Amino acid sequence: MIGLSTLANTHKDVEQNYMKFFSLVIIFSFSSIVCAQQKQVCFSIDDLPVVSYGINDTSFQKDITAKLIASFTRNHIPTIGFVIVKKLFNDTLRSSFQVSLIEQWIDCGFDIGNHTYSHPDYNSVSLKEYTDDLLKGEVVIKEILARKGRHLKYYRHPYLHVGSTKLKADSLSDFLKQHGSTIAPVTIDTDDYLFALAYKRARVKNDTALYKRIGQDYLAYMEKKILFYEYQAQALFGRNIRQILLVHASWLNAEYMDSLALLYISRGYSFISMEKALEDSVYQTPVTVYGKWGISWLDRWALSCGKQSEFFKDDPDPPEYVLELTK
């Protein structure tokens, strides 16, 4: 027989269990809200080993590589680098120095992806020419990764040109799928390469005031870009998405990567890998509109759901003087 005290205890247990249940519901709901609002970004860096803009001496390339790797390590950014394989060759001979730069990335725990052999433009060549070049690059990267016990997974399109028509885009994505390559999209697409060229020219001229100005304006521009793509994600999906940033392996980024990391941290971001970024269901969003453009996937999704030029009007541009310096 169940006594009063037992009933009271049972009642208390039920009450406690309810409390626990509701606490869990509250915690779960709260963490769902936090998750939905959490800002996360994957940093990806293109055109490895180095975007040298004509400065090809080994000490310069070593320095750029060391600075980038040190900054990504210091800031706990699980970066992925995309290699232009032709840069690992002097004419037809493979350069052990250039290969060693790529090995440093792998040794420091970063992932490496294929960015083709010679960086062809898919808008200008056939699928056959394009995929031959892609495979020529892939063989070399696979071999470098295999020596370190690692596998190749990701592919990044040069110029973000994925195919200017549905047929051309589908042909390439089918090829990549059959080949076991995962496309590495980009949501935060910037003109960092224009700032980088202007910066290099100012550095070479030893114009300290100018290159510092370019660096500061670069950070201000990159901050506007973060806000612009956050706005796009909210407008299209009603939430923050796991963003993927593309920057290049340039002198500018080598000198400013700590500041760029800090900028993202100050905007509430944490850093994630490409794998983690692609777990976001947003990357299942279909693209149904095609063109010769090399644009953010957010722009592609916006165009695919019928957004007009008004939607893109606040996309920030580099300052005029930076554009002048690149001419």
Residues near Zn ion, by CB under 5 A: 46-47, 158
Q: How far apart are CA 37 and CA 254, in angstroms?
A: 30
Q: Give Cβ neighbours of residue 274 (< 8 Å, ≥ 6 apart).
A: 42, 44, 80, 111, 113, 154, 184, 244
Q: How far apart are CA 275 and CA 283, in angstroms?
A: 11
Q: Whole-number minimum distance, CB 38 to Zn ion, in Å? A: 29
b/e 57-95 (16+ beta carbons within 10 angstroms → b): eeeebbebbebbbebbeebebbbbbbbbbebbeeeeeee
Closer to Zn ion at the Cβ: 46 or 280? 46
Q: Which amino acid is at 13?
A: D
Q: Among 177, 161, 172, which residue's Cα sits nearest to residue 132?
A: 172
Q: Whole-number minimum distance, CB 46 to Zn ion, in Å? A: 4
Closer to Zn ion at the Cβ: 49 or 158? 158
Scan for tokens 């690149």, then name that residue: 326
Q: How far apart are CA 88 and CA 248, in angstroms?
A: 17
Asked if 124 contacts 91 with a C-beta cutoff of 8 angstroms, the reply is no
Q: Whole-number minimum distance, CB 196 to Zn ion, in Å? A: 12
Q: Whole-number minimum distance, CB 33 to Zn ion, in Å? A: 38
Q: Whole-number minimum distance, CB 159 to Zn ion, in Å? A: 7
Closer to Zn ion at the Cβ: 158 or 185? 158
Closer to Zn ion at the Cβ: 50 or 233? 50
Q: Whole-number minimum distance, CB 186 to Zn ion, in Å? A: 11
